Amino acid sequence: MVISSLKRAVGGAIFLACGLPAMHSARAQEKPYFVTYSYDLEEPGNLDIETKTALARPDGSTRYGAAALELEYGVLAWWTSELYLDGQTTAEESTIFTGFRLENRIRPLMHEHIINPALYFEYENLNGADKNLLEVVGHDGQSDLATPNDEARREHEHEAELKLILTSNVKDWNISENFIAEKNLGHSPWEFGYAFGAARPLSSRSGGRPCTFCAQRFMAGIEAYGGLGDTAALTLRETSHYIAPLIGWEAPKGLRLSFSPGFGLTETSLDRVYRIGVAYEFNQIADWFRHAGVAQ
Amino acid sequence: MKRTVVAFLCLFFSALIAFAAGHSHWNHVPAKDHERANPFASRQEAVAAGALIYGDKCAQCHRADARGDRRKRPSLRSELLRNATDGDIEWFLRQGDLAHGMPSWAGLPAEQRWQVVTYLKSIQ
Protein backbone atom coordinates (compact mmCIF):
# COMPACT_ATOMS: atom_id res chain seq x y z
CA MET A 1 0.00 0.00 0.00
CA VAL A 2 2.79 2.36 0.98
CA ILE A 3 4.80 1.49 -2.10
CA SER A 4 1.87 1.94 -4.46
CA SER A 5 0.93 5.33 -2.99
CA LEU A 6 4.53 6.48 -3.25
CA LYS A 7 4.70 5.26 -6.85
CA ARG A 8 1.65 7.40 -7.57
CA ALA A 9 3.25 10.39 -5.83
CA VAL A 10 6.54 10.05 -7.72
CA GLY A 11 4.66 9.44 -10.99
CA GLY A 12 2.58 12.55 -10.34
CA ALA A 13 5.66 14.66 -9.70
CA ILE A 14 7.30 13.42 -12.91
CA PHE A 15 4.09 14.08 -14.85
CA LEU A 16 3.88 17.57 -13.37
CA ALA A 17 7.48 18.34 -14.23
CA CYS A 18 7.27 16.88 -17.75
CA GLY A 19 4.00 18.65 -18.35
CA LEU A 20 5.52 22.08 -17.95
CA PRO A 21 7.74 22.39 -21.02
CA ALA A 22 6.65 25.95 -21.72
CA MET A 23 7.90 27.21 -18.39
CA HIS A 24 11.48 28.29 -18.07
CA SER A 25 13.65 25.99 -16.07
CA ALA A 26 17.29 25.85 -15.17
CA ARG A 27 19.70 23.48 -13.58
CA ALA A 28 21.07 24.91 -10.40
CA GLN A 29 24.10 23.67 -8.55
CA GLU A 30 22.06 21.32 -6.42
CA LYS A 31 23.87 18.32 -4.98
CA PRO A 32 22.06 14.99 -4.53
CA TYR A 33 22.25 15.12 -0.72
CA PHE A 34 19.15 14.31 1.34
CA VAL A 35 20.35 15.28 4.81
CA THR A 36 23.56 17.25 4.31
CA TYR A 37 23.37 20.87 3.21
CA SER A 38 26.04 22.44 1.06
CA TYR A 39 26.58 26.21 0.95
CA ASP A 40 25.01 26.37 -2.52
CA LEU A 41 21.95 28.58 -2.39
CA GLU A 42 19.06 28.99 -4.77
CA GLU A 43 19.72 31.51 -7.54
CA PRO A 44 17.94 34.77 -6.68
CA GLY A 45 14.38 34.82 -8.01
CA ASN A 46 14.23 31.06 -8.67
CA LEU A 47 11.78 28.65 -7.05
CA ASP A 48 12.79 25.04 -6.56
CA ILE A 49 10.08 22.52 -5.75
CA GLU A 50 11.25 19.16 -4.46
CA THR A 51 9.75 16.10 -2.84
CA LYS A 52 11.95 14.04 -0.56
CA THR A 53 10.63 10.61 0.28
CA ALA A 54 11.98 8.22 2.94
CA LEU A 55 10.97 4.54 2.99
CA ALA A 56 11.85 2.37 5.98
CA ARG A 57 10.64 -0.25 8.44
CA PRO A 58 11.52 0.18 12.12
CA ASP A 59 11.92 -2.95 14.25
CA GLY A 60 8.60 -3.96 15.78
CA SER A 61 6.54 -1.83 13.42
CA THR A 62 5.24 -1.78 9.86
CA ARG A 63 6.69 -0.14 6.77
CA TYR A 64 6.23 3.56 6.30
CA GLY A 65 6.76 6.17 3.64
CA ALA A 66 7.33 9.76 4.68
CA ALA A 67 7.35 12.63 2.21
CA ALA A 68 8.46 16.24 2.55
CA LEU A 69 7.42 18.80 -0.04
CA GLU A 70 10.07 21.52 -0.17
CA LEU A 71 9.53 24.98 -1.64
CA GLU A 72 12.87 26.77 -1.88
CA TYR A 73 13.15 30.38 -3.03
CA GLY A 74 16.27 32.42 -3.70
CA VAL A 75 15.57 35.74 -1.99
CA LEU A 76 19.02 37.16 -2.64
CA ALA A 77 22.25 35.65 -3.90
CA TRP A 78 23.32 35.19 -0.26
CA TRP A 79 19.91 34.30 1.25
CA THR A 80 17.59 31.37 0.54
CA SER A 81 14.27 30.73 2.25
CA GLU A 82 12.39 27.43 2.40
CA LEU A 83 9.06 25.98 3.45
CA TYR A 84 8.66 22.25 4.07
CA LEU A 85 5.33 20.45 4.36
CA ASP A 86 5.70 16.98 5.90
CA GLY A 87 3.48 13.91 5.90
CA GLN A 88 3.68 10.17 6.15
CA THR A 89 1.86 6.92 5.48
CA THR A 90 2.34 3.96 7.80
CA ALA A 91 1.13 0.58 6.56
CA GLU A 92 -1.92 -0.77 8.38
CA GLU A 93 -2.29 2.58 10.17
CA SER A 94 -2.97 5.93 8.52
CA THR A 95 -1.80 8.72 6.26
CA ILE A 96 -1.28 11.99 8.10
CA PHE A 97 0.06 15.50 7.71
CA THR A 98 2.80 15.92 10.31
CA GLY A 99 3.61 19.62 10.18
CA PHE A 100 5.78 22.27 8.57
CA ARG A 101 9.24 23.75 8.77
CA LEU A 102 10.43 27.25 7.87
CA GLU A 103 14.10 27.72 7.26
CA ASN A 104 16.54 30.34 6.09
CA ARG A 105 20.10 29.90 4.92
CA ILE A 106 22.56 32.72 4.52
CA ARG A 107 26.13 33.05 3.38
CA PRO A 108 27.88 35.50 5.69
CA LEU A 109 31.02 35.84 3.55
CA MET A 110 30.73 37.36 0.09
CA HIS A 111 33.83 35.69 -1.38
CA GLU A 112 35.07 32.16 -1.93
CA HIS A 113 37.46 30.63 0.57
CA ILE A 114 39.02 27.21 1.14
CA ILE A 115 36.21 26.50 3.60
CA ASN A 116 33.00 28.42 3.02
CA PRO A 117 30.48 28.83 5.83
CA ALA A 118 26.71 29.17 5.62
CA LEU A 119 24.32 29.63 8.53
CA TYR A 120 21.00 27.87 8.80
CA PHE A 121 18.03 28.81 10.99
CA GLU A 122 14.88 26.71 11.15
CA TYR A 123 11.60 26.72 13.00
CA GLU A 124 9.76 23.40 13.09
CA ASN A 125 6.12 22.89 13.99
CA LEU A 126 5.73 19.13 13.79
CA ASN A 127 3.96 16.38 15.62
CA GLY A 128 5.63 13.29 17.04
CA ALA A 129 4.58 11.18 14.04
CA ASP A 130 6.99 12.93 11.66
CA LYS A 131 9.25 10.30 10.10
CA ASN A 132 11.09 12.22 7.40
CA LEU A 133 14.53 11.93 9.01
CA LEU A 134 15.66 15.19 7.44
CA GLU A 135 18.15 15.35 10.27
CA VAL A 136 19.19 13.00 13.06
CA VAL A 137 20.03 14.62 16.41
CA GLY A 138 20.43 13.71 20.07
CA HIS A 139 19.32 10.17 20.84
CA ASP A 140 16.85 9.87 17.94
CA GLY A 141 16.34 6.19 17.19
CA GLN A 142 14.11 3.72 15.42
CA SER A 143 11.96 3.27 18.54
CA ASP A 144 10.70 6.87 17.98
CA LEU A 145 9.56 5.81 14.52
CA ALA A 146 7.79 2.67 15.76
CA THR A 147 5.23 4.54 17.88
CA PRO A 148 1.72 4.15 16.38
CA ASN A 149 0.47 7.23 14.52
CA ASP A 150 -2.56 7.76 16.75
CA GLU A 151 -0.32 8.03 19.78
CA ALA A 152 2.64 9.84 18.21
CA ARG A 153 0.58 12.61 16.58
CA ARG A 154 -0.62 13.81 20.01
CA GLU A 155 2.86 15.08 20.78
CA HIS A 156 3.50 18.57 19.37
CA GLU A 157 7.03 19.75 18.82
CA HIS A 158 7.93 23.40 18.40
CA GLU A 159 11.64 23.34 17.71
CA ALA A 160 14.38 25.68 16.67
CA GLU A 161 17.30 24.28 14.76
CA LEU A 162 20.64 25.87 13.97
CA LYS A 163 23.23 24.53 11.59
CA LEU A 164 26.72 25.57 10.74
CA ILE A 165 27.34 24.50 7.15
CA LEU A 166 30.91 24.31 5.89
CA THR A 167 31.67 23.58 2.24
CA SER A 168 34.81 23.18 0.18
CA ASN A 169 35.13 22.61 -3.56
CA VAL A 170 38.19 20.48 -4.21
CA LYS A 171 38.96 19.27 -7.73
CA ASP A 172 35.26 19.13 -8.67
CA TRP A 173 34.37 17.40 -5.41
CA ASN A 174 31.87 19.12 -3.19
CA ILE A 175 32.67 18.39 0.44
CA SER A 176 30.19 19.60 3.04
CA GLU A 177 29.99 19.27 6.81
CA ASN A 178 27.03 20.27 8.96
CA PHE A 179 27.03 20.77 12.73
CA ILE A 180 23.48 20.72 14.08
CA ALA A 181 21.98 22.04 17.32
CA GLU A 182 18.27 21.60 17.94
CA LYS A 183 16.11 22.77 20.82
CA ASN A 184 12.54 21.95 21.67
CA LEU A 185 11.16 25.37 22.58
CA GLY A 186 8.80 23.97 25.21
CA HIS A 187 11.24 21.85 27.19
CA SER A 188 14.09 19.39 26.67
CA PRO A 189 17.80 20.06 26.39
CA TRP A 190 19.73 21.09 23.29
CA GLU A 191 20.33 18.11 21.01
CA PHE A 192 23.28 17.82 18.66
CA GLY A 193 23.97 16.08 15.42
CA TYR A 194 26.18 16.06 12.35
CA ALA A 195 26.02 15.39 8.63
CA PHE A 196 28.83 14.97 6.17
CA GLY A 197 28.60 14.67 2.40
CA ALA A 198 30.91 14.41 -0.58
CA ALA A 199 29.75 14.35 -4.20
CA ARG A 200 30.99 15.07 -7.70
CA PRO A 201 29.73 14.89 -11.28
CA LEU A 202 30.68 11.75 -13.21
CA SER A 203 32.18 13.96 -15.93
CA SER A 204 33.68 17.42 -15.42
CA ARG A 205 33.39 18.51 -19.03
CA SER A 206 30.32 19.32 -21.08
CA GLY A 207 30.21 17.32 -24.29
CA GLY A 208 28.99 20.15 -26.51
CA ARG A 209 25.83 18.37 -27.62
CA PRO A 210 22.47 18.22 -25.87
CA CYS A 211 22.20 14.84 -24.14
CA THR A 212 19.96 13.04 -21.68
CA PHE A 213 21.97 10.22 -20.14
CA CYS A 214 25.54 11.52 -20.56
CA ALA A 215 27.96 11.32 -17.62
CA GLN A 216 27.96 15.07 -16.95
CA ARG A 217 24.27 14.84 -16.00
CA PHE A 218 24.97 12.38 -13.19
CA MET A 219 26.41 13.09 -9.76
CA ALA A 220 27.52 10.44 -7.31
CA GLY A 221 28.66 10.64 -3.74
CA ILE A 222 28.12 9.58 -0.19
CA GLU A 223 26.73 11.09 2.97
CA ALA A 224 26.93 10.16 6.64
CA TYR A 225 24.79 11.57 9.43
CA GLY A 226 23.87 10.88 13.02
CA GLY A 227 23.21 12.12 16.54
CA LEU A 228 25.76 13.35 19.04
CA GLY A 229 23.67 13.25 22.20
CA ASP A 230 22.32 16.25 24.08
CA THR A 231 23.34 18.63 26.84
CA ALA A 232 22.07 16.15 29.43
CA ALA A 233 24.10 13.27 27.97
CA LEU A 234 26.71 14.38 25.48
CA THR A 235 27.66 10.89 24.39
CA LEU A 236 27.45 8.59 21.39
CA ARG A 237 25.70 5.89 23.44
CA GLU A 238 22.22 5.12 22.11
CA THR A 239 22.60 7.37 19.12
CA SER A 240 21.79 6.61 15.48
CA HIS A 241 24.27 6.84 12.64
CA TYR A 242 23.82 6.22 8.94
CA ILE A 243 25.95 5.96 5.85
CA ALA A 244 24.33 6.42 2.46
CA PRO A 245 25.67 6.34 -1.11
CA LEU A 246 23.94 8.82 -3.43
CA ILE A 247 23.20 9.13 -7.11
CA GLY A 248 21.59 12.12 -8.80
CA TRP A 249 20.48 12.75 -12.37
CA GLU A 250 19.70 16.07 -14.00
CA ALA A 251 17.16 15.29 -16.68
CA PRO A 252 16.51 17.73 -19.52
CA LYS A 253 14.06 20.61 -18.89
CA GLY A 254 15.10 21.14 -15.28
CA LEU A 255 13.89 17.92 -13.69
CA ARG A 256 16.21 16.33 -11.12
CA LEU A 257 15.97 12.85 -9.66
CA SER A 258 18.04 11.43 -6.84
CA PHE A 259 18.19 8.15 -4.96
CA SER A 260 20.01 7.00 -1.86
CA PRO A 261 19.93 3.73 0.09
CA GLY A 262 20.99 4.46 3.67
CA PHE A 263 22.37 1.88 6.08
CA GLY A 264 22.13 2.09 9.85
CA LEU A 265 25.41 1.65 11.72
CA THR A 266 24.17 1.16 15.28
CA GLU A 267 21.45 -0.88 16.99
CA THR A 268 19.47 2.28 17.58
CA SER A 269 19.45 3.10 13.84
CA LEU A 270 17.01 1.82 11.24
CA ASP A 271 18.52 -1.10 9.32
CA ARG A 272 17.89 0.57 5.98
CA VAL A 273 16.23 3.74 4.76
CA TYR A 274 15.64 4.36 1.07
CA ARG A 275 15.32 7.92 -0.13
CA ILE A 276 13.95 9.27 -3.40
CA GLY A 277 14.05 12.89 -4.49
CA VAL A 278 12.20 14.55 -7.38
CA ALA A 279 12.77 18.24 -8.04
CA TYR A 280 11.93 20.92 -10.57
CA GLU A 281 13.25 24.45 -10.67
CA PHE A 282 11.33 27.44 -11.98
CA ASN A 283 13.33 30.42 -13.20
CA GLN A 284 12.81 33.99 -12.16
CA ILE A 285 9.23 33.61 -10.98
CA ALA A 286 8.96 37.32 -10.13
CA ASP A 287 9.27 38.02 -13.88
CA TRP A 288 6.07 36.09 -14.54
CA PHE A 289 4.09 38.55 -12.41
CA ARG A 290 5.99 41.53 -13.80
CA HIS A 291 5.17 40.47 -17.37
CA ALA A 292 1.56 39.77 -16.41
CA GLY A 293 1.32 43.28 -14.95
CA VAL A 294 2.75 44.82 -18.14
CA ALA A 295 0.32 42.81 -20.30
CA GLN A 296 -2.63 44.15 -18.31
CA MET B 1 38.21 79.11 6.94
CA LYS B 2 35.28 78.56 4.55
CA ARG B 3 37.62 78.79 1.54
CA THR B 4 39.92 76.20 3.06
CA VAL B 5 37.03 73.79 3.60
CA VAL B 6 35.72 74.31 0.04
CA ALA B 7 39.22 73.85 -1.41
CA PHE B 8 39.69 70.70 0.64
CA LEU B 9 36.34 69.27 -0.50
CA CYS B 10 37.12 70.07 -4.16
CA LEU B 11 40.48 68.36 -3.82
CA PHE B 12 38.94 65.32 -2.11
CA PHE B 13 36.21 64.80 -4.75
CA SER B 14 38.67 65.38 -7.62
CA ALA B 15 40.92 62.69 -6.15
CA LEU B 16 37.92 60.36 -5.75
CA ILE B 17 36.82 60.86 -9.38
CA ALA B 18 40.38 60.38 -10.64
CA PHE B 19 40.65 57.14 -8.61
CA ALA B 20 37.31 55.84 -9.90
CA ALA B 21 38.25 56.60 -13.52
CA GLY B 22 41.52 54.74 -13.23
CA HIS B 23 40.04 51.82 -11.27
CA SER B 24 39.20 48.87 -13.53
CA HIS B 25 36.56 46.33 -12.57
CA TRP B 26 39.26 43.65 -12.80
CA ASN B 27 41.90 45.41 -10.69
CA HIS B 28 41.10 43.31 -7.66
CA VAL B 29 41.56 39.97 -9.46
CA PRO B 30 44.66 38.30 -7.97
CA ALA B 31 47.62 38.28 -10.38
CA LYS B 32 47.80 34.49 -10.62
CA ASP B 33 44.11 34.30 -11.57
CA HIS B 34 44.40 37.24 -13.97
CA GLU B 35 47.17 35.44 -15.85
CA ARG B 36 45.66 31.98 -15.75
CA ALA B 37 45.49 30.45 -19.23
CA ASN B 38 42.24 29.08 -20.61
CA PRO B 39 42.85 25.40 -21.49
CA PHE B 40 40.12 25.61 -24.16
CA ALA B 41 40.94 29.04 -25.64
CA SER B 42 39.31 29.49 -29.09
CA ARG B 43 38.46 25.80 -29.42
CA GLN B 44 35.21 25.46 -31.33
CA GLU B 45 33.99 22.42 -29.40
CA ALA B 46 34.46 24.38 -26.17
CA VAL B 47 32.44 27.27 -27.61
CA ALA B 48 29.59 24.86 -28.38
CA ALA B 49 29.83 23.25 -24.94
CA GLY B 50 30.01 26.65 -23.25
CA ALA B 51 26.93 27.80 -25.17
CA LEU B 52 24.97 24.83 -23.80
CA ILE B 53 26.07 25.53 -20.23
CA TYR B 54 25.32 29.22 -20.71
CA GLY B 55 21.79 28.31 -21.89
CA ASP B 56 21.25 26.16 -18.80
CA LYS B 57 22.70 28.36 -16.11
CA CYS B 58 23.23 31.94 -17.25
CA ALA B 59 20.55 32.75 -19.84
CA GLN B 60 17.80 32.95 -17.21
CA CYS B 61 19.29 36.24 -15.99
CA HIS B 62 21.54 37.50 -18.80
CA ARG B 63 19.09 36.40 -21.54
CA ALA B 64 19.71 33.99 -24.40
CA ASP B 65 21.45 36.71 -26.47
CA ALA B 66 23.65 37.67 -23.46
CA ARG B 67 22.47 41.29 -23.67
CA GLY B 68 20.92 41.32 -20.19
CA ASP B 69 17.76 43.25 -19.36
CA ARG B 70 19.35 46.71 -19.39
CA ARG B 71 18.51 47.08 -15.71
CA LYS B 72 19.89 44.86 -12.94
CA ARG B 73 21.14 42.05 -15.19
CA PRO B 74 24.07 43.32 -17.19
CA SER B 75 24.87 42.61 -20.82
CA LEU B 76 27.76 40.20 -21.31
CA ARG B 77 28.61 41.69 -24.71
CA SER B 78 30.43 44.65 -23.33
CA GLU B 79 33.66 46.59 -23.17
CA LEU B 80 34.14 45.21 -19.68
CA LEU B 81 34.34 41.62 -20.93
CA ARG B 82 36.34 42.51 -24.03
CA ASN B 83 38.98 44.06 -21.76
CA ALA B 84 39.04 41.11 -19.36
CA THR B 85 41.44 38.21 -19.63
CA ASP B 86 40.01 34.69 -19.65
CA GLY B 87 41.45 34.31 -16.16
CA ASP B 88 39.57 37.40 -14.95
CA ILE B 89 36.25 36.01 -16.14
CA GLU B 90 36.88 32.55 -14.71
CA TRP B 91 37.79 34.14 -11.37
CA PHE B 92 34.60 36.19 -11.41
CA LEU B 93 32.45 33.13 -12.20
CA ARG B 94 34.10 31.33 -9.29
CA GLN B 95 33.63 34.22 -6.86
CA GLY B 96 30.29 35.59 -8.01
CA ASP B 97 29.15 38.94 -6.68
CA LEU B 98 26.72 37.94 -3.97
CA ALA B 99 26.08 41.48 -2.83
CA HIS B 100 24.81 42.40 -6.31
CA GLY B 101 22.85 39.24 -7.13
CA MET B 102 25.43 37.21 -9.05
CA PRO B 103 25.75 33.70 -7.54
CA SER B 104 29.09 32.01 -7.14
CA TRP B 105 29.65 29.18 -9.65
CA ALA B 106 32.50 27.58 -7.70
CA GLY B 107 30.35 24.44 -7.47
CA LEU B 108 30.47 24.04 -11.25
CA PRO B 109 33.39 21.84 -12.43
CA ALA B 110 36.41 23.97 -13.43
CA GLU B 111 36.39 22.66 -17.00
CA GLN B 112 32.79 23.75 -17.46
CA ARG B 113 33.63 27.21 -16.13
CA TRP B 114 36.40 27.48 -18.73
CA GLN B 115 33.99 26.32 -21.44
CA VAL B 116 31.64 29.15 -20.45
CA VAL B 117 34.55 31.62 -20.56
CA THR B 118 35.43 30.38 -24.06
CA TYR B 119 31.85 30.91 -25.19
CA LEU B 120 31.65 34.39 -23.64
CA LYS B 121 34.88 35.44 -25.33
CA SER B 122 33.56 34.12 -28.67
CA ILE B 123 30.54 36.42 -28.62
CA GLN B 124 32.42 39.67 -27.97
pLDDT attached to residue B59 = 92
Architecture of the structural domain at A2-295: Beta Barrel (2.40)
**Predicted pLDDT at B4:** 66
- In this model, does residue A5 exceed pLDDT 60? no
- Nearest chain A alpha carbon to B49: A208
- Between the alpha carbon of residue A96 and those of residues A9, B6, B73, the distances in Å are 15, 73, 44
pLDDT classification of B14: cutoffs 50, 70, 90: low
The burial class, CB within 10 Å (0-12 / 13-18 / 19+), for A112 is middle
Four-CA torsion A107, A111, A114, A116, nearest 10 degrees: 0
Domain limits, chain B = 28-122
Q: Calculate Rg over the CA atoms of chain A.
A: 19
Residue of A nearest to B46 (CA): A208
The pLDDT value recorded for residue A292 is 61
Stretch A216-225: mean pLDDT = 96
A296 — pLDDT class (breaks 50, 70, 90): very low
Cβ atoms < 10 Å from Cβ of B17: 10
Which residues from B are below 8 Å from A205, CB to CB?
A: 49, 109, 111-112, 115
Q: What is the pTM of this model?
A: 0.85
Q: What CATH code would you report for B28-122?
A: 1.10.760.10
Residue in A182, A167, A281 with CA at minimum distance from that of residue A221: A167
Tell me the residues of A at the B interface, defined by beta carbons under 8 Å apart.
Answer: 24, 26-29, 31, 38, 40-41, 43-46, 76-78, 107, 110-112, 116, 169, 172, 174, 200-201, 204-210, 216, 283-284
Segment 1-30 of chain B within 8 Å of chain A by CB: none
What are the tens digits of pLDDT across the range A236-280? 999 999 999 999 999 888 899 999 999 999 999 999 999 999 999
Q: Does A116 score more than 60 pLDDT?
A: yes
**Residue A291 banded pLDDT, cuts 50, 70, 90:** low
For residue A176, the chain B residue with the least C-alpha distance is B107
CB contact under 8 A, A208 and B52: yes
Q: Which residues contact A49 (CB under 8 A, 6 or more apart)?
A: A69, A70, A71, A72, A279, A280, A281, A282
Q: Band the pLDDT of A126: cuts 50, 70, 90.
A: very high
pLDDT digits (tens, 9 = 90+) for B73-117: 899 999 999 999 999 999 999 999 999 999 999 999 999 999 999
- A265 by Cβ neighbours in 10 Å (0-12 / 13-18 / 19+) ranks as middle
Distance from CA of B94 to the nearest CA of A (A): 7
Instruction: State the pLDDT confidence band at A39, using cuts at 50, 70 and 90.
Output: very high
How would residue A9 be classed by pLDDT, with cut points 50, 70 and 90? very low
Nearest to A278 by CA among A258, A250, A260, A263: A258
Specify the 3-state DSSP secondary structure of A72. Answer: strand
The secondary structure of residue A232, as a DSSP letter, is S
Q: What's the pLDDT at A17?
A: 40
DSSP annotation of A273: E
Q: Which helix (H) or strand (E) holds A103?
A: strand A95-106
Q: Are A181 and A195 in contact (CB under 8 A)?
A: no
- Provide the pLDDT confidence category of residue B21 given band limits of 50, 70 and 90: very low
Measure the CA–CA gap between A192 and A25, rounded to whole angstroms: 37
pLDDT computed for residue A118 by the predictor: 98
Pairing of strands A218-230, A64-76: unpaired
Tell which wins on pLDDT, A26 or A192.
A192
Note the pLDDT of residue B8.
60
Measured between beta carbons, the chain B residues lying within 8 angstroms of A210 are 52
Point out which residues pair with A56 in neighbouring strands. A64, A273
